[in-house]
Amino acid sequence: MDEGHGAGSERDRRHDRRHVYIGGRWVESASARVVEVYDSVTEEVMGCAPEGHPTDVDHAVEAARAAFDEWAATPVGERAALMAKAADGLAARADELTTLITRETGMPVEGCRVVQVGGAVHFVRVAAEVAVDFAYEERIKHSLVVREPVGVVGAIAPWNFPLNQMVKKVAYAMAAGCTVVAKPSEVAPLDAYVLTEVLDEIGLPPGVFNLVPGIGPTVGQAMSAHPDVDMVSLTGSTASGTKVMQSAATTIKRVGLELGGKSANILLDDLSDDAFRDAVSQGVQRAFMNGGQICAALTRMLVPQSRLDLAEEVLSAVVGDMRVGDPFDPATVVGPLASAAHRDRVVGMIRAGLEDGAALLVGGPDRPEGVDRGYYVRPTVFTRVDNSMRIAQEEIFGPVLCLIPYRDDADAVRIANDSQYGLSGGVWSADVARAELVARRIRTGAVYVNGAATNVYAPFGGYKRSGIGREYGRFGFEEYLQIKSLHLPS
C-alpha cells in the first residue's frame, strides 16, 4: 500500500504512508499529522509516515490481545512455517528494501544489501529454526517446568538498522507465540511498511502483527505504559531506554533493552608489526561501519604506548584514504548520516574533542570535500586521548575513533572497563589463549577475538547501561517466554 509516490527511479521515488496497520487492515491513524522522512543523500523529503496517536496504540493492543490466545495455541511448526514465508517475502523485495534503507540511513548500498536486508532475512529464518528446535518443557524432580509465550509485545526499533533490528524482535516474538505491536523510528519508518506488506501477504491471522509508526514521546510512551502490553523490547539510546523503563514500571511489565555502547578494541603488545597494522585497519572497519551508526562499534582503540606512533601512521593512511560520498557509488566507504540533527550532534562532539585537548589526527568538524549536500561528516580520528574526555565516555554514533595508549594488560582492561557502557569489545593478540584471558576481564556482553565474526546463535546484549536482556538464538527466543512450574503428584 504505497500512496502518492511520484514517477522516476527507485532512488527518487517518494513514499507517502498515511495509514497504520491494525487487526489485519490498513486504517487511518487517529492523528492527521505526519512526520516527514528525509533522504540522507539529497536532504530532500522522500516520504512521510503518521505521527501516531495513543488511540492508535489502544486499538493495536486490543487487536493483539484478541489474537493472542489462538496464536499462542497455534502449533510451533505452523508459526515457524509462516516465519519462513516471511523471510522469502523479504528476500523477494531485497532490491527495493536496499534502496529504501540506503536512502533512510546513508549506509553504502552493498553493505546495506548484505547487512541491513540480508541480515534481516537471515534473522527471520533463524527465528523459525530456533522455535522448532527449542525445548519448551523440562522435568525437575516432581515438577514440570513449561515455557509459554509472554503475551502482547511492544517492539520499538531504531533508525540505524531499522529493518534488521525490527525483525530481531518481531520474528522471535511471533515465532514464540506472542502477538506484536511494532513502532519503527520516525527517522526511518518507511522500510517497516514493506515488512508489514510482506506479513500481510503470507496469511498471518489478523492482530498477530500490528504497525503503529509515530514519535517516541507519543507512541513509544503509550506502548510502554499500556496495561495490556506484557513486554516492551527497545533498541535505541540509553536515554530512550531509561524512558521506556520508567513508563513500563507503572504496569510492572517485562522490559528488554539493547542500548548504547562505547566499546574498546584492545591491541596487545605481542602482535608483529604486520599483524598490528592489520588489526588497526580492521579496527577502523569495526568503528566506521554504517558511518559509525552502530551501537556495537569499536570506537575506542587501545594500543601499547610503544606502538602509538605506528598506530597513528596506519590510521592516517587508512582513514585519510576513505572515500566519502554517494552511498550508491560502489567506491564509497562512508556515506552520510541519517539526519541533519544527528549530523549536527556528531559534529558537536568532534568540536568537544578539540576543546578538551585531544589531538586531531584525521578529519575534523568541517564538511567533507566534494559533497555539497547530504548529512555528511568527515571520518575523524583523535589520538592521545585521555579516557576521561567526553569523546571517550559518550557514545558519538558517528565516524569518530579515539586512539588511547596504555601501559600494560591491566591498564588496558582498566581503561576498557572505565565506561558506563558494556555492550561489545575486541581483543587482538598473537596468542588466542592470552586474548581470551583479557577478554574474560572485559565487562561487556560480547568480545570479538582477533576479528572473529558475529554468531547469530550466540547471545547479544549489554552489561551496565548498555541494556537488559539478550537477543539472537535461543537466548533471544527465551526473552519472549514466561516460565511456569506445574507441581505434580510424585
Residues identified as active-site:
258, 295
| Cβ atoms within 10 Å of 43's Cβ, excluding its own | 15
Distance separating alpha carbons of residues 170 and 198, to the nearest angstrom = 13
Radius of gyration of the chain, Cα coordinates, nearest whole angstrom: 23
Distance separating alpha carbons of residues 484 and 477, to the nearest angstrom = 16
Distance separating alpha carbons of residues 106 and 237, to the nearest angstrom = 19
**256 phi and psi angles, rounded to 5 deg:** -115, 125
For residue 136, give every residue at least 6 positions away whose Cβ sits within 8 Å of its Cβ, in sequence order, or none: 76, 146, 147, 481
The strand pair at 463-464 and 45-50 is best described as unpaired
Inter-CA distances, 386 with 203, 382, 408, 439, 480, Å: 56, 10, 16, 22, 41
Determine contact, residues 263/296, Cβ cutoff 8 Å. yes
Ranges assigned E (strand) in 251-347: 254-258, 264-267, 300-304
Determine contact, residues 382/401, Cβ cutoff 8 Å. yes
Determine contact, residues 253/290, Cβ cutoff 8 Å. no
For residue 323, count CB atoms less than 10 angstroms from its CB and return exposed for 0-12, middle for 13-18, buried for 19 or more. middle
The strand pair at 45-50 and 137-140 is best described as unpaired
- Four-residue CA torsion sign, 248, 250, 254, 258: positive
Distance separating alpha carbons of residues 266 and 167, to the nearest angstrom = 32
Nearest to 19, CA basis, from 28, 6, 32: 28
Determine contact, residues 293/397, Cβ cutoff 8 Å. yes
